[in-house]
Amino acid sequence: MRDAVRTIARRKAVAVAARGVVGTLLAADTVIDLDGELLGKPSDGADATRMLVRLSGRAHAVHTGVALLHTSASRTLGVDGVATSTVHFRALAAAEIAAYVATGEPFGKSGSYAIQGGAARFMTRLDGDLDNVVGLPLGLVRLLAATLASRLRAG
């Protein structure tokens, strides 16, 4: 799963560069990994409910692939990496899942939740970087930016 999300991020950056964009590009993608199964964005309310029922009372991994790609007239250089955090959910009652899905917040969110929103009350523990779960793992971005800058200076 980690390799897949890294590849997706890299492909996003390359696709933008292929349009003739010059400069440094940042691309990212996040997936929810429940025991090796990818939980993407829900297709409807029933799908969101199904995912939240599966996450209830369990831990799952959040993987974010990040790619930095520098393009210029003379060369293209890129670096990429993956940040992983483990989110632990408490057991959720059917009524609270239904109420949360009814807010509309799960739609457009991998795993059907936004930890920075109403789903914050579902989390009992976080192992790893909250930035990774909320959006973009800034620690990883800083590390990749420093690595890319070093490689660019090295020529």
The average pLDDT across 115-119 equals: 94
Place of tokens 């691309």: 27
Residue of 29, 33, 80, 129 with catalytic role: 29
29 is catalytic: yes
- C-alpha span between 4 and 42 (Å, rounded): 20
Split at pLDDT 50, 70, 90, the class of 117 is very high
The average pLDDT across 85-112 equals: 96
Q: What is the pLDDT of residue 21?
A: 85
Three-state SS sequence of 36-80? CEEECCCCCHHHHHHHHHHHCCCEEEEEEEEEEEEECCCCEEEEE
Is residue 48 within 8 Å of residue 101, measured between CB atoms? yes
pTM of the model: 0.88
Amino acid identity of residue 46, one-letter, is A
Which among 78, 79, 69, 63 has a CA at the least distance from the CA of 136?
A: 63
DSSP state string for 115-143:
TTTGGGGGEEEEES-HHHHHS--HHHHHH
Query: What percent of the chain clears pLDDT 90, i.e. is strictly above it?
Result: 84
**What is the domain-level CATH number for residue 136?**
3.90.950.10
3-state secondary structure of 155: coil
Domain that residue 26 falls in: 2-154
Number of domains in the chain: 1
pLDDT in tens, 13-47: 999 998 988 899 999 999 999 999 999 899 999 99
